[in-house]
Amino acid sequence: MYTSLADIEKKVKTNKQLKRLVLAAAEDAHALEAVYMAHNQGIIHPILVGDKDEINNIADSNGFDLKGFEIHHEAEHTKAVEKSVRMIQNGKADILMKGRCSTATLLKGILNIEWGMRKGNLLSHFALLEIPTYHKLLALTDVAINMSPDLQKKIYILDNAVSFMNGLGWEKPKVAIIAAIEVVNEAMPATVDASAIFIMAKQGQIKNCLVDGPLGLDSAISSESAKQKNIDSEVAGDADLLLFPQLESGNVMYKSLTYLAKGIAASVLLGATAPVVLTSRADSQESKLNSIILAAADKTWKTP
């Protein structure tokens, strides 16, 4: 059982061959710093695609030694994204990371029908947090991409997260389907969907995880709360993964944990042919570095 993100880093450093990370529109100081740190720590082999002059100016201004970095000049963001995505598809890179380009530009490239990184049925966001008040790492999904997923989309989101966690080493992650209450109420669609997913898991339609729901947040992460409510479950009080009913609740939870509870986060975009590091400027450098480490840790994507 992983109890800290340092455990994930140790896992990465056992890799015999470094994963190759391509930074699209690499002339971004924050993203470039995270890549530079990951390179220095022996986490990844860096490939930079962007305006070469700007990249070198940023490096000079910040004291980054880019010796050993591959740099491909492409000043236009759309073309830089295309070149980066094609590297993934051609087996020349293993991880895609967003630089100065917009999220919309990156996603458009990932979803391009001709040369993009389409894989599964849906792209989704996955976050893994180390929280001082929780006894192990806790994963959240989806807190950034899918606004109001219906039942089928929730199943896709769950499949993305579980497959990724299986690759990280969780044989059967404990999944809590989050709602406001623990009983089905037709006036609360989140409880209806949670019950359907729970039944599907019991019938073997959802594999490689243990599922329970609907569960309130307290019941999912507090064994004492689950005990007080007489909830008999392998998941309640010991969840590995929280599946949220919509983006708003998941996003508020994520930000509450990182800003108020001193949680340390790592996150990736799932559902493509390779993991995507999609951080924002508001994310700390620690979070950006941890996200690169998380993307490099999964065994689903192996360097040839």
- What 8-state DSSP symbol labels residue 202? H
What is the pLDDT averaged over residues 55-63?
Answer: 96
45/143 same-domain check: no
132/255 same-domain check: yes
Whether 68 maps to a domain, the answer reads yes
134/253 same-domain check: yes
Name the pLDDT band for 280 (thresholds 50, 70, 90). Answer: confident
159/237 same-domain check: yes
pLDDT at residue 252 is higher than 70? yes
Which of 228, 243, 259 represents a domain boundary (last residue)? 259
What is the pLDDT averaged over residues 289-293?
Answer: 96
Per-residue pLDDT of 158-169, as tens digits, reads 999 999 999 999
Helix (H/G/I), strand (E/B), else coil: 99:
coil
pTM for the complete prediction? 0.94
pLDDT at residue 12 is higher than 50? yes
52/155 same-domain check: no
150/242 same-domain check: yes
* Amino acid 17: pLDDT: 84
* Amino acid 120: pLDDT: 75
Both structure tokens of 159? 């499949």
Q: How many domains does the chain have?
A: 2
pLDDT at residue 259 is higher than 50? yes
Which of 67, 85, 118 represents a domain boundary (last residue)? 118
Whether 150 maps to a domain, the answer reads yes
171/140 same-domain check: yes
CATH number for the domain spanning 227: value is 3.40.718.10
Range with lowest mean pLDDT among 71-85, 100-114, 213-227, 288-302: 288-302
Q: Report cis status (omega within 30 of 0) of the bond before 132.
A: no
Range with lowest mean pLDDT among 89-98, 117-126, 144-153, 185-194: 117-126
* Amino acid 300: pLDDT: 55
Whether 131 maps to a domain, the answer reads yes
42/138 same-domain check: no
- What 8-state DSSP symbol labels residue 18? P
100/182 same-domain check: no
88/172 same-domain check: no
114/177 same-domain check: no
106, 34, 32: which is closest to 274 by C-alpha? 106
What is the pLDDT averaged over residues 56-79?
Answer: 96
How many of the other CB atoms lie within 10 Å of CB of 171?
Answer: 8
CA distance 140 to 240: 9
Whether 89 maps to a domain, the answer reads yes
Whether 295 maps to a domain, the answer reads no
Averaged pLDDT score across all residues of the chain: 94
* Amino acid 303: pLDDT: 42
Whether 288 maps to a domain, the answer reads no
Which of 118, 143, 176 represents a domain boundary (last residue)? 118
CATH number for the domain spanning 70: value is 3.40.50.10950
Asked if residues 96 and 235 have their Cβ atoms less than 8 Å apart, the reply is no
Asked if residues 214 and 184 have their Cβ atoms less than 8 Å apart, the reply is yes
Per-residue pLDDT of 109-148, as tens digits, reads 999 999 999 887 899 999 999 999 999 999 999 999 999 9
Whether 268 maps to a domain, the answer reads no
Range of the domain at 224: 124-259
pLDDT at residue 302 is higher than 70? no
Whether 14 maps to a domain, the answer reads yes
Which helix (H) or strand (E) covers residue 168, if one does? helix 151-168
253/132 same-domain check: yes
Asked if residues 135 and 282 have their Cβ atoms less than 8 Å apart, the reply is no
121, 46, 169, 276: CA torsion to nearest 10: -20
